[in-house]
A and B are shown apart, each in its own frame.
Chain A
């Protein structure tokens, strides 16, 4: 078989009337370089929201690629040895990274960025361009999977658009290049093997003027094609949404596979040890920590408390979760999606609370206390503690964590039968003079500090019942201390918390709750600190409860032996929620309604979580049922409308006929026939009329030539005419007249003539300005 690839010639003759300019091959290569650079930048910017330490590489890549875009010739200055050593260096870097850090996924991400960096500063061939797309997609998908962030949606859409444009330019460039076929034949092998790029300066990179390219693109583009492109891209998004809804789902109960390759750490969250100021620091952050969907908004309490962690051990100026309690009160770790709580089931339909906890908040789930049932969206490893009313995940989640809770109990008292037993035993042993250590009662303070506390307690007036003590202590604390996120603790010896308590300095919630605990313990009550969130706002757009990090809060709980429960003792509660106390349900929502721009943006995030991230087999069934119901309803309505119309027509026809009705019917029929005839015979005329061209299309070249002719015919003084080059004008005028009125066969390079005419007009203008 003989194959003759190069033996051809194109465009022997061309009979298209008006042609828009076309991009030259070098211009297409420049465009390809630009789009490739944009893709690389889009990909590496995932580091902004991906929790991987690759900032240096990202910065270096951004700078290098930007430099390559501004000065496309500079990659040619890299010595050949750079390209020779690049691959061994990248492999060594990856191995070293893996060996030193021991984390697979971050090492792969850094390897990916390094490869993109190299591709960004070397002249790419076709396979290299494909590599850029694959590497970029990997980065974005990994970031999306690990963070489940809304940013992923924006980024993948931008990446898709850019990648499609990139592929289109590659295809068009290849169709022009002679060696494209031979290149394509290298196939997959070429894609996955490493080939050092050509180091010489390619012709297209010698002189790149992006502004000129922009102007050329504008001249080349046809607005109708661009609009169609936009519609098609919107169609891609729509089709992908439909596919997303239609792809069958099977619940395989597997955990996120990528998580095992990366270790997480809390960025700003609550940990087992909290020092004074930690919660206040979280309060500085106004980002969303928790979005809560409520199936029945009427059950939203006036002042919801979302407890996350209980701290019992006070020492060294801070509270922490004592190792003993951590060991004793948390159940053995479970793996699954469901957890049955301690709250008793109630009659009737229970409200469902769906929580979307952002990554970086904590591994402890925000919960109101007791609940009937908790269900995770995906399989989790967790340890519940019924005593503390908290649930701890094994590790800090790197992604948004979704869980649904039923039968929530927002009561201020948290029953704790196990601690009740312990308290009873402790009380008995204390009475017998052999008190065992009880962390919730322990107060390791020196005599001076205890004396100071005793003096404070004397001012408070200690009640026998915890509620009384709580009220009195709260009143005393709020009357003696103001609220401030920048507290000042008086200097001196002894315990800092005691010093602050005894002073009149302002403080934040941690100091208030800490003071409450030490005072309660000094007064003989068991007490502990609870940290979490209080309050939140009701998003008026997405109708959900939004809790921000700025809602972080700490409060105290005092043991009520009589009720066998822990009572919430929040010294700051009266001042902060006095107005809210009266409101619950709709009232609470109305008071907390947020319709700001931030809420608008947050509603997008909630939509993302509700409809995309949390979409599962059940959601799919619900969606299909909704579609089915909507279809049935619409069909039913249509059928009813049709039946009504037919019945009305029948009734009209059955009515008594007279000349007026006959004339009316005849008129309608004649009108319909006339309209049909007119549409049949005048559709071409109608089309031209619609375009506003008086029924006759004018060639754009003729139109432009006519416009320029009219401007060239404007009178000019003799001096100006001489200066403007009368001979040139005359020549151009003749050519323009040929374009305007002559047969198309006599046209020679209309674009050049139009360009000359524009030049002549410009000369005229300059001359006119200089004379004036």
Chain B
């Protein structure tokens, strides 16, 4: 009940047009009532005020017992439509809930690992602060989702908000607030929420051309990879699913475990590539071109993995990481999502100047600028793919 008198933080109540009219009417009637001592006007004023109180009580009842849960399903990719889900539940016994809307905001986050210190705005000029805030607001994506139907008592509903992230990196998806005009539209009530989900947005997929490369060598005949494929070696057993070939059933294991199990084989790759990405600021002086590089690398790496031709990945001077599972690729894409320019060190040594260890003996794809905007992948100095 105390919340009725003193709303919690984040709650706002703003009068709407009809609310402003009602308040103006109350003022007018009150003035007239005092000037004329007319009890008819006092009665009308009392009724209007009581309606305002009723509006607040009904609004409170409408929101009471309503719980929400945020669900954002990765992966999110720049420029592609993603979906954030909100599971709503009305915990009231018999009162339904009507007319809520949910305000969403998705805004890029600073990399917490980047070590940037929070700056005080006390010493900043107003215009600068405004500019910073304006820029931050411009990067945010906002949206509304409306509960159009009645949410029954004890009922649940799932509302989805679709949005397209504008840039790669860390993204905070927030349920900024829940609003309601219920019941009479006098007051626009906002309830602030602290529901948020931090997700990583992978670089955008870009189009590129693959070029024939002379001298790309096969790596010691066929190579078996520890991921599911159509190779000859057994990788694992799994439960039978509709559509599985009966020839894949492992009868012995099935008999032992009393459930149908099928065999899974390792993938077999005939050609593997090692990818080495350098992020030197000297190599990629233009920010747009660097973004193109990151998107190109992410797309190329994903395609190679799908084709079973990705062997290892390396970033700058770090040791190469073998890619065996999907999660290896996802980890790499997560890193690509947040990768930034690597500035030259003080002693002039450039990051990533030396080929990574662990990737030797493979076809190594390296990247270099292609013109003023594009990027190209090279194998042994030959262009293998270009945007």
Interface residues on A, range: 35 or more
> Is A612 among interface residues, defined by CB-CB distance under 8 A?
yes
Given the known interface contacts A11-B149, A225-B96, the answer about A2 and B142 at a Cβ–Cβ threshold of 8 Å is: yes
Given the known interface contacts A1-B142, A228-B95, A244-B46, the answer about A8 and B157 at a Cβ–Cβ threshold of 8 Å is: no
Q: Which residue of A lies closest to B186 (CB)?
A: A167
Q: Is the CB of A2 within 8 A of B140?
A: yes
Given the known interface contacts A156-B47, A232-B58, A257-B36, the answer about A11 and B158 at a Cβ–Cβ threshold of 8 Å is: yes
Q: Which residue of B lies closest to A14 (CB)?
A: B157
Given the known interface contacts A16-B152, A378-B37, the answer about A144 and B51 at a Cβ–Cβ threshold of 8 Å is: no
Partner of A22, one of B99, B144, B150: B150
Partner of A5, one of B51, B144, B186: B144
> Is A168 among interface residues, defined by CB-CB distance under 8 A?
yes
Q: Which residue of A lies closest to B30 (CB)?
A: A247
Which A residues lie within 8 Å of B47 (CB)?
156, 160, 236, 240
Q: Is the CB of B37 within 8 A of A240?
A: no
Q: Is the CB of A232 within 8 A of B16?
A: no
> Is B35 among interface residues, defined by CB-CB distance under 8 A?
yes
Given the known interface contacts A188-B17, A235-B54, the answer about A243 and B157 at a Cβ–Cβ threshold of 8 Å is: no
> Is B41 among interface residues, defined by CB-CB distance under 8 A?
yes
Which B residues lie within 8 Å of A184 (CB)?
16-17
Which A residues lie within 8 Å of B37 (CB)?
249, 251-254, 378, 616
> Is A405 among interface residues, defined by CB-CB distance under 8 A?
no
> Is B114 among interface residues, defined by CB-CB distance under 8 A?
no
Q: Is the CB of A16 within 8 A of B17?
A: no
The interface stretch among B160-168, B258-266, B365-373 is B160-168
Interface residues of A in 184-231 (CB under 8 A from B): 184, 187-188, 190-191, 222, 224-225, 228
| Shortest distance between the CB of B61 and any CB in chain A (Å) | 9
> In whole angstroms, how far apart are the Cα atoms of A260 and B146 in the complex?
51
The interface stretch among B176-184, B304-312, B342-350 is B176-184
Q: Is the CB of B51 within 8 A of A160?
A: yes
> Is A250 among interface residues, defined by CB-CB distance under 8 A?
yes
Instruction: Give per-residue flags for A240-266: 1 if the beta carbon is below 8 A from chain B beta carbons, else 0.
Output: 110110010111111111100000000
Interface residues of B in 48-69 (CB under 8 A from A): 49-51, 53-54, 57-58
> Is A170 among interface residues, defined by CB-CB distance under 8 A?
yes
| Shortest distance between the CB of A576 and any CB in chain B (Å) | 38
Which of the listed residues A11, A190, A228 has the most CB atoms from chain B within 10 Å of its own CB?
A: A11
Q: Is the CB of B43 within 8 A of A240?
A: yes
Q: Is the CB of B148 within 8 A of A176?
A: yes
> In whole angstroms, how far apart are the Cα atoms of A438 and B80 in the complex?
108
Given the known interface contacts A175-B148, A252-B34, the answer about A240 and B50 at a Cβ–Cβ threshold of 8 Å is: yes
Given the known interface contacts A174-B181, A191-B17, the answer about A12 and B160 at a Cβ–Cβ threshold of 8 Å is: yes
Given the known interface contacts A2-B140, A225-B94, A232-B54, the answer about A12 and B36 at a Cβ–Cβ threshold of 8 Å is: no
Q: Is the CB of A244 within 8 A of B42?
A: yes
Q: Is the CB of B184 within 8 A of A144?
A: no
Given the known interface contacts A134-B21, A141-B40, A176-B148, the answer about A171 and B184 at a Cβ–Cβ threshold of 8 Å is: yes
> Is B74 among interface residues, defined by CB-CB distance under 8 A?
no
> In whole angstroms, how far apart are the Cα atoms of A3 and B53 in the complex?
33
> Is A696 among interface residues, defined by CB-CB distance under 8 A?
no
> Is B32 among interface residues, defined by CB-CB distance under 8 A?
yes
> In whole angstroms, how far apart are the Cα atoms of A612 and B34 in the complex?
15
Given the known interface contacts A137-B25, A167-B183, A613-B40, the answer about A19 and B155 at a Cβ–Cβ threshold of 8 Å is: yes
> In whole angstroms, how far apart are the Cα atoms of A190 and B18 in the complex?
11
Partner of B43, one of A156, A170, A176, A252: A156
Partner of B44, one of A4, A16, A144, A615: A144
> In whole angstroms, how far apart are the Cα atoms of A351 and B96 in the complex?
58
Which B residues lie within 8 Å of A452 (CB)?
none
Partner of A239, one of B53, B140, B156, B160: B53
Q: Is the CB of A13 within 8 A of B142?
A: no
Given the known interface contacts A184-B17, A191-B21, the answer about A8 and B155 at a Cβ–Cβ threshold of 8 Å is: no
Q: Is the CB of B159 within 8 A of A12?
A: yes
| Shortest distance between the CB of B101 and any CB in chain A (Å) | 7
> Is A145 among interface residues, defined by CB-CB distance under 8 A?
yes
> Is B147 among interface residues, defined by CB-CB distance under 8 A?
yes
> Is B79 among interface residues, defined by CB-CB distance under 8 A?
no
Which B residues lie within 8 Å of A109 (CB)?
none
Which of the listed residues A10, A176, A188 has the most CB atoms from chain B within 10 Å of its own CB?
A: A10
Interface residues on B, range: 35 or more
Q: Is the CB of A188 within 8 A of B20?
A: yes
| Shortest distance between the CB of B144 and any CB in chain A (Å) | 6
Q: Is the CB of B137 within 8 A of A1?
A: yes
Instruction: Give per-residue flags for A145-175: 1 if the beta carbon is below 8 A from chain B beta carbons, else 0.
Output: 1001000110010001000100110111011
| Shortest distance between the CB of B104 and any CB in chain A (Å) | 8
Which A residues lie within 8 Å of B16 (CB)?
184
Q: Is the CB of A144 within 8 A of B154?
A: no
Q: Is the CB of B43 within 8 A of A175?
A: no
Q: Which residue of B lies closest to A241 (CB)?
A: B46
| Shortest distance between the CB of B24 and any CB in chain A (Å) | 9
Which B residues lie within 8 Å of A14 (CB)?
155-158
Q: Is the CB of B18 within 8 A of A243?
A: no
> Is B354 among interface residues, defined by CB-CB distance under 8 A?
no
Q: Is the CB of B40 within 8 A of A7?
A: no
Q: Which residue of B lies closest to A141 (CB)?
A: B44
Q: Is the CB of A10 within 8 A of B147?
A: yes
Interface residues of B in 1-50 (CB under 8 A from A): 16-18, 20-21, 25, 29, 32, 34-47, 49-50
> Is B202 among interface residues, defined by CB-CB distance under 8 A?
no
Which B residues lie within 8 Å of A5 (CB)?
143-144
> Is A130 among interface residues, defined by CB-CB distance under 8 A?
yes
Q: Is the CB of A175 within 8 A of B94?
A: no
Q: Is the CB of A170 within 8 A of B144?
A: no
> Is B185 among interface residues, defined by CB-CB distance under 8 A?
yes
Given the known interface contacts A174-B181, A257-B32, the answer about A10 and B145 at a Cβ–Cβ threshold of 8 Å is: yes
Instruction: Give per-residue flags for B181-217: 1 if the beta carbon is below 8 A from chain A beta carbons, else 0.
Output: 1111110000000000000000000000000000000
Q: Is the CB of A167 within 8 A of B184?
A: yes
Which B residues lie within 8 Å of A20 (CB)?
152
Q: Is the CB of B152 within 8 A of A19?
A: yes
Partner of B183, one of A12, A168, A249: A168
Which B residues lie within 8 Å of A222 (CB)?
94, 96
> Is B338 among interface residues, defined by CB-CB distance under 8 A?
no
| Shortest distance between the CB of B367 and any CB in chain A (Å) | 31
> Is A479 among interface residues, defined by CB-CB distance under 8 A?
no
> Is A15 among interface residues, defined by CB-CB distance under 8 A?
yes
Given the known interface contacts A10-B147, A134-B21, A240-B46, the answer about A15 and B156 at a Cβ–Cβ threshold of 8 Å is: yes
Q: Is the CB of A8 within 8 A of B99?
A: no
Q: Which residue of B lies closest to A616 (CB)?
A: B37
> Is A9 among interface residues, defined by CB-CB distance under 8 A?
yes
Which A residues lie within 8 Å of B25 (CB)?
134, 137
In the assembled complex, 21 residue pairs joining A and B whose CB atoms fall closer than 8 Å, in A order, are A4-B141, A8-B160, A8-B161, A10-B147, A15-B156, A16-B151, A16-B157, A130-B17, A130-B21, A134-B25, A144-B40, A145-B38, A145-B40, A171-B183, A174-B185, A225-B95, A235-B54, A239-B54, A256-B36, A612-B39, A616-B37
Beyond contacts A156-B43, A240-B46: 10 other A-B pairs, Cβ-Cβ < 8 A, are: A8-B161, A10-B159, A15-B155, A130-B21, A144-B43, A174-B185, A175-B147, A244-B39, A247-B45, A249-B37
| 8 shortest interchain CB distances as A-B pairs | A16-B155, A175-B99, A4-B143, A240-B50, A243-B46, A167-B184, A240-B46, A239-B50
